[in-house]
Amino acid sequence: MTPRHSDRRRSGPYRMRHGMILGVCKGIANYFDFSVFWTRVIAVGFLVFTGFWPIMGLYLLGALLMKPEPVLPFETEAEEEFYNSLTSSRQMALHRLKRTFDRLNRRIQRMEDIVTAREYDWERRLNQ
């Protein structure tokens, strides 16, 4: 399943992994649904007419601020939410994973407590 265009707009532009130089122009072109060729032509035009340093600075700033494109497309909103939290704050994403693991661990412990309790009537449960 490929990411829908509206999903890309909602979560912002991504630097594309297979772009020419850091994937900024290709990411912007995909975000605004433009041709990659014309996006690059406009970027080179700005580079020629405004000078090297202002546009190169903006380009590098864009490369630093834009999230890298996910390796695999999102299948659910939860995956997209986790990826966005991971790229914005790894510490917060790790905290979220730890909370999820702790919740699952508590559920498994409750199930084990029920199954291993002396009151658990195995014969009645198996013969039903």
Which DSSP string do the residues of 64-118 spell out, in sequence order?
Answer: HHSEEPPSS--SSHHHHHHHHHHHH-HHHHHHHHHHHHHHHHHHHHHHHHHHHST
The residue type found at 53 is W
Give the pLDDT confidence score for residue 116 in this predicted structure.
78
pTM above 0.75, yes or no: no
Strand partners, 79: none
Give the pLDDT confidence score for residue 68 in this predicted structure.
81
Helix (H) or strand (E) holding 15: strand 14-15
Give the pLDDT confidence score for residue 109 in this predicted structure.
92
* Domain range summary for the chain, segments of one domain joined by +: 1-74, 89-128
Cα-only R_g, the chain: 24
Give the pLDDT confidence score for residue 124 in this predicted structure.
66
Give the pLDDT confidence score for residue 35 in this predicted structure.
92
Give the pLDDT confidence score for residue 123 in this predicted structure.
62
pLDDT averaged over 10-residue windows placed end to end, the chain, 128 residues: 43 78 88 90 89 84 83 79 76 84 94 77 68
Give the pLDDT confidence score for residue 65 in this predicted structure.
85
